[in-house]
Structure 1
Amino acid sequence: MALLSCAGIRKEFGGHVVLDDLSLDVAEHQVVALIGTSGSGKSTLLRCLNLLERVDDGVITLDGEDITDPRADPDRVRRRIGMVFQSYNLFPHMTVLDNIVLAPVRVHSRAPQQARVQAREWLDRLGLADKALSYPDRLSGGQQQRVAIVRALVNEPRLLLLDEVTSALDPELVGEVLSMIRDLKESGMTMVLATHEMGFARQVADRVVFLDGGRVIESGPPERVLGDPEQARTRQFLARIIAAGRL
């Protein structure tokens, strides 16, 4: 059974269909990269997976539980799902450690001391132990994004969602985040990530999913989807990426 399963997902905004009968399965320990043009539905799908948006039709299951059931408690579901956005969203007046433990303590009622111990463990594992008492403005963009990832990991999620986490970074800082995500992959973390960076998708993903018009057009191993796509629409998309020097 897949860790995450989407069946027939539909989402509209003001009559505009953003996700159209989309189905997707993600196995445990798998890394799936979502690619496609802006407006193809990548970010909306991630927001639906984390229940930040409610689907209009279809079913999403996590560990076999229907999390799209109106009776599902979003806060309880989000304890099993971590999400990292393009912007870091760190509170500038709080230290790295305080940023990380804020949600576990205030939202999930975790004991402050326990939350701090777990936060420091994650910071140490991911090479940020010396930044625990620093403020965000003392960190590089890459370090801030890595802290945002640690903040999503502190609740030990079953699934990590990453939405364009390298797009706001200077090119020389992308490697920091890419290395961290590789480490998470090696540790067995299940991830779904949306990205415009094809090299990023090629390096970290087990499977690449090309979205267009809110539908899955093509899905498969990175070397096939990015190197020898079967669908004409995928080939057209990648030709533009290559012309722009991004593959």
Structure 2
Amino acid sequence: MILSCRGLRKVFGPNVVLDGLDLEVAEHEVVALIGASGSGKSTLLRCVNLLEEIDDGTIHLDGQHITDPRVNQDKVRQRIGIVFQSYNLFPHMTVLDNITLAPVRVHKRPAKQAAAQAREWLARVGLADKAGEYPDRLSGGQQQRVAIVRALVNSPRLLLLDEVTSALDPELVGEVLTMIRDLKGEGMTMVLATHEMGFARQVADRVCFIDGGRVLEQGPPDQLFGDPAEPRTRQFLARIIEAGRL
């Protein structure tokens, strides 16, 4: 297993957001996290990337206990890419500079090498001509693809995607989803929190329904969406269908 989360608990004041959550992710697997807003999906991803400190439980990455307080968190984050729904690109820097900032400043790669790798990725996602542009000259879909490339240039073992299409206009969603589908075809291990149920059904190897801070039910997409075992899962999906999102 690349990722193993055991008994994760995270509390914000009186709110228990993660309540003994367990999750395992195998190499080359794509796992989609679904659930109502506030169910803990985003918090789980932030805990995995060590952006939030867990209150109990353990997280292992490639067998290493990364929630051990003695672990160098910066080195762990070099092995995990994370992309948020807000692109978080630096507006005063070009696309190329945004992508190469961490490889050069943090990972100490030669600037020419980092730039060459960045241009290679931009070409792969159809943005080769945007390297010298500033973020405000790009569409939302293009900015989100740049944000994903920025996470990929460090060759992460695991890519976390947190509602990466939520801030996009409907007509721009497809280009980001195509990129994620292509990454799956290349064997990238991914965990994605999403409200795009149709996409989760198409691209995920496994779908996890999170409710009450736990993985209430999980399984292959056709099984979970077509014949869920838990009443709460059926209730959630019925609302999704009623809203026309599945």
1:212 aligns with 2:237: no
1:21 maps to 20
Residue 118 of structure 1, CA deviation? 1.2
Q: Is the partner of 1:114 in helix, strand or coil?
A: helix
1:12 maps to 11
Residue 135 of structure 1, CA deviation? 1.2
1:133 aligns with 2:143: no
**1:85-234 matches, cutoff 5 A:** 85-234=84-233
**1:71-90 matches, cutoff 5 A:** 71-90=70-89
Q: Is the partner of 2:32 in helix, strand or coil?
A: strand
Aligned AA (1:137)? D
Q: Distance in 2 between matches of 1:216 and 1:132?
A: 40
Residue 145 of structure 1, CA deviation? 0.3
Q: For structure 1, which runs of at least 5 residues remain unmatched after alignment?
A: none
Q: Is the partner of 2:54 in helix, strand or coil?
A: coil
Residue 228 of structure 1, CA deviation? 1.1
1:13-52 deviation digits (Å, cap 9, x = unpaired): 1132110111010000000000000110000000000000
Output the TM-score relative to the length of structure 1. Answer: 0.98
Q: Distance in 2 between matches of 1:130 and 1:101?
A: 16
Residue 110 of structure 1, CA deviation? 2.2
Q: Is the partner of 1:37 in helix, strand or coil?
A: coil
**1:226-245 matches, cutoff 5 A:** 226-245=225-244
Aligned AA (1:112)? A
Output the TM-score relative to the length of structure 2. Answer: 0.98
1:55 aligns with 2:51: no
1:94-139 deviation digits (Å, cap 9, x = unpaired): 1100010111222222222221111111112222111111111111
Q: Distance in 2 between matches of 1:152 and 1:74?
A: 17
Q: Distance in 1 between matches of 2:73 and 2:36?
A: 29
Q: Is the partner of 1:184 in helix, strand or coil?
A: helix
1:38 maps to 37
Q: Is the partner of 1:23 in helix, strand or coil?
A: strand
Q: Distance in 2 between matches of 1:111 and 1:31?
A: 32
Aligned residues: 246
Q: Is the partner of 1:175 in helix, strand or coil?
A: helix
Q: Distance in 1 between matches of 2:119 and 2:70?
A: 35
Residue 166 of structure 1, CA deviation? 0.5
Provide the aligned C-alpha RMSD in A: 0.8
Q: Distance in 2 between matches of 1:111 and 1:56?
A: 39
Moved more, 100-109 or 188-197: 100-109
Aligned AA (2:115)? R
Q: Distance in 2 between matches of 1:17 and 1:169?
A: 30
Q: Distance in 1 between matches of 2:140 and 2:181?
A: 18
Q: Is the partner of 2:10 in helix, strand or coil?
A: strand
